[in-house]
Chains A and B, each alone.
Chain A
Amino acid sequence: MQDKFFNSRKAQTGTTTTWIVATLIIIVVLGISIAAVNFAFPGKKNASLVDKEKDFLATKSITSFLSKKENVDLLKSGDKEKIELKMKRILYDILGTFGKNPGAWNLELEKDGKKTDVDTYNVIAVDPISGSGIPAFETNLNSNEIKLKFWKECQGICG
């Protein structure tokens, strides 16, 4: 009789412990979920243009740049240093790419089938699998002799 009494109490303690542990698990899971939501959405939500990689002002700038005969002649000359200096002024000083955006502008010049990397500007976005940069914004301009490739590298986080 006494044994029965003790067994019954043991069973009750076990059941209570199960409920308490279950409650704690539920509270912990909910707490983690709330903390995660708070972390992911800390404040106001910013709306932005759907495709940030297509920079309208950059395209306008490079179009203006190529509208000047001296600039086109400079590109045709293939003088890497002078082209770099000129492009840096547009990309860094005017468009403010340097140190601001996670993406980066790149310029490649192709003359008589020979490619010349003019410069790689602050490349941050890199394909995690292949390790190479990902061209996300690209403008190809062709003339009779040269091909200028101008693109921005980023992974959907261009500012």
Chain B
Amino acid sequence: MTGKNKKGMEKMISIYWFAILALTAGAVVYMVLIFYGNPYDVKGLESDIMMNNVADCILENGHLKYELNNELKNGFLNICHINLETEEPEGQYYLEIEFFEKGFRISEGNPNLKNNSNKNSVFSGSKSFYSLDKNSNEVTVKMNVYINKVNKNAG
């Protein structure tokens, strides 16, 4: 009688241990999923890199490198070696550069992103910097970047 009870008790403890093991393993897996399950959102990083490249392209020794004319406006991407093409047919980027004191503006990419009604999905970043034109007049340059790429980034 006592032997049977002991065997039953051992079985119970084994089941209990397995249950605890499963519980602990489940919790660890859940925590790992929380950490690694969320994708990295690199849109902010892309925006920063793009704005830094634009600033690096148009500034030389503290002065604007190019004349602000249609030639720059139409060939900006080629001049600055910026490629906004993506695998998706519709553009995923929109870049806008405003030269405040000059009333000059360059815009490239998909302009629909700027007026997108779904504000949560489209990333927008904006930065400004101080520069001088060829005649050492002050020019404030503001850059606005809009990035969609919802499928490839966290939304």
Contact = CB atoms under 8 A, between A and B. Distances in A.
27 contacts: A26-B20, A30-B24, A30-B27, A33-B31, A34-B31, A37-B31, A41-B34, A44-B38, A45-B38, A45-B39, A45-B154, A48-B48, A49-B48, A57-B51, A57-B127, A60-B55, A60-B131, A61-B131, A63-B61, A65-B62, A65-B130, A66-B62, A67-B132, A68-B138, A95-B128, A95-B130, A96-B127
Nearest to A36: B31
Interface string A56-91: 111011111111111000000000000000000010
Interface residues of A, number: 36
Interface of A: 19, 23, 26-27, 30, 33-34, 37-38, 41, 43-49, 56-58, 60-70, 90, 93-96
A interface, by DSSP: helix, strand, loop or mixed? helix
A90 B130 contact: yes
Given A57-B129, A94-B128, A27 B41 contact: no
Interface of B: 16, 20, 23-24, 27, 30-31, 34-35, 38-42, 44-45, 48-49, 51-52, 55-56, 59, 61-63, 127-132, 136, 138, 140, 154-155
B141 to A, nearest CB: 9
Contacts of A65: 62, 130
